[in-house]
Amino acid sequence: MKINELRNGMKRVNVEAKVVEVSTPREVLSRFSDTTHKVATAIIADETGTIKLTLWNDQINQVNVNNKVKVENGYVTSFRGEIQLNVGKYGKLTVE
């Protein structure tokens, strides 16, 4: 699937793209427990456009600028008016 085909609410999304930017990780408090998690955003691009990819904890260290990433079984949400790609607990992130 191409980035320009992604729409808010889509599930079971498979995307291959190149990482063009990775944000500095920040810590967030879990809504369900008193634990903190690290979260960062990667901007990924293919020939049709760009989208933000949300990275959690161990995923952050796996992804670097210019890596090719493959998201399998991901889903798309809208956050602050921007659509974002999420791996989720049932999805898979592969870095090449």
Band (3; pLDDT cuts 50, 70, 90): very high
Q: What is the pLDDT of residue 30?
A: 87
> Sign of torsion, CA 54 78 37 93?
negative
pTM exceeds 0.75, yes or no: yes
pLDDT tens across 29-77, in order? 988 888 999 999 999 999 999 999 999 999 999 999 999 999 999 999 9
pLDDT in tens, 11-22: 999 999 999 999
Give the residue extent of every domain in the chain. Answer: 3-95
- Whole-number pLDDT of residue 76: 98
Least Cα distance to 51 among 41, 40, 61, 62 occurs for: 41
Of 92, 76, 90, 70, nearest to 4 (Cα)?
A: 76
Report pLDDT for 15.
98
CATH of domain 3-95: 2.40.50.140
pLDDT at 21: 98
Helix (H) or strand (E) holding 58, with range, is helix 58-62
